[in-house]
Amino acid sequence: MKKNLILLCLCILTISCSKDDETYVNPINPPAWLLGTWQADTYEDSRTGFEITEDDIIVLSGSGEISQKDHLKSMHDSSVSMGILEINNEEHFRLELNYPEGNTVMFSFSKIDDQQISWYKTLDEVVTLTKQ
**DSSP conformation letters of 98-117:** E-TTS-EEEEEEEE-SSSEE
Question: Residue 116: inside a domain, yes or no?
Answer: yes
In a domain, 4, yes or no: no
Q: How far apart are CA 127 and CA 61, in angstroms?
A: 14
Pairing of strands 64-67, 83-88: unpaired
Question: Does pTM top 0.75 for this prediction?
Answer: yes
* Residue 73, in any domain of the structure: yes
| Number of CB atoms found within 10 A of residue 57's CB | 20
The domain total for the chain is 1
User: Which residues form the domain of 120?
Assistant: 24-131
- Band the pLDDT of 16: cuts 50, 70, 90: very low
39: three-class secondary structure by DSSP = strand
Per-residue pLDDT, 19 = 46
Average pLDDT, the chain: 83
Q: Is residue 65 part of a domain?
A: yes
Whether 110 maps to a domain, the answer reads yes
| Cβ proximity of 38 and 119 under 8 Å | yes
| 12 within a domain of the structure (yes/no) | no
Average pLDDT over residues 10-33: 63
Q: How confident is the model at residue 127 (pLDDT cuts 50, 70, 90)?
A: very high
Whether 16 is in a domain gets the answer: no
Note the pLDDT tens digit of each residue in 58-98.
Answer: 999 888 999 999 999 999 999 988 899 999 999 999 999 99
The answer to whether residue 32 is domain-embedded is: yes
109 in Cβ contact with 118 (< 8 Å): yes
**Letter string b/e over residues 25-51, b meaning 16 or more CB atoms within 10 A of that residue's CB:** eebbebbeebebbbbbeeeeeeebbbb
Mapping DSSP to helix (H, G, I), strand (E, B) and coil, where does residue 61 land? strand
Q: Over 80: is that where the pLDDT of 125 sits?
A: yes
pLDDT at 109 over 60: yes
